[in-house]
Chains A and B, each alone.
Chain A
């Protein structure tokens, strides 16, 4: 079974600084997808960024980017120019390829942004 590990229960960053959230996963599959979801205090689950395992290029969405290291099974999220609105719980998630739709989540990292 696939597992997703987020080793940092909590992180903090100063406004306008950069922070990196870690995620590692375990799988025997070669085709899979990785996601970062953000959950603010409103409790909504918001997709931040996604990465296809077959793509070598790291995904980027505005201030959010990933460092995808397939051999190391690592998928970290970098938030640049952190804003107060980035404060939230961040979840890393894994989905197998093909018709496998199930998401496996890590336990989350609580990010605090200090003004």
Chain B
């Protein structure tokens, strides 16, 4: 079972470049989300989606866009990368059924902005 798949695993960008981080899940989960993980900060929610066509902002949304055209995919876009966006990015998904159901995480994308 693939679960949650993130690509790429690593990426280096220059300031001002744009990029899309890909996230796909094959579990038919309605809820998907993006987090960033910085040293000493834990994971912080960037954007989330409760279903196709529905997205909303999390705790740190500035500088990022998302869309959810299908249940499976939830890409994260950086329109103009900044050094402050250097981080490890995690995509997660979960089913809507059962409030105690955990989120399933991808393996993360390590992004460096020079």
- Interface of chain B, main secondary structure: strand
Distance (whole angstroms) from the CB of B19 to the closest CB of chain A: 19
Q: A91-B42, A101-B50, A106-B42 are in contact. Are A45 and B58 (CB under 8 A)?
A: no
Q: How far is the CA of A41 from the CA of B42 in the complex (A)?
A: 15
Q: Which range contains the number of B residues in contact with the other chain?
A: 20 to 34
Q: How far is the CA of A101 from the CA of B97 in the complex (A)?
A: 11
Q: A43-B107, A43-B108, A45-B105 are in contact. Are A107 and B40 (CB under 8 A)?
A: yes
Q: Which single member of B45, B88, B100 contacts A52 (CB below 8 Å)?
A: B100
Across the interface, do B99 and A105 meet the contact criterion of CB distance under 8 Å?
no
Residues of A at the B interface (CB closer than 8 Å) are 4, 9, 31, 33, 35, 42-45, 47, 50, 52, 91, 95, 97-99, 101-108
In addition to A45-B90, A101-B96, 18 A-B residue pairs with Cβ atoms within 8 Å of each other are A9-B40, A33-B99, A33-B100, A42-B107, A43-B107, A44-B107, A50-B102, A97-B99, A99-B50, A99-B96, A101-B50, A101-B94, A102-B33, A103-B33, A103-B92, A105-B43, A106-B42, A107-B41
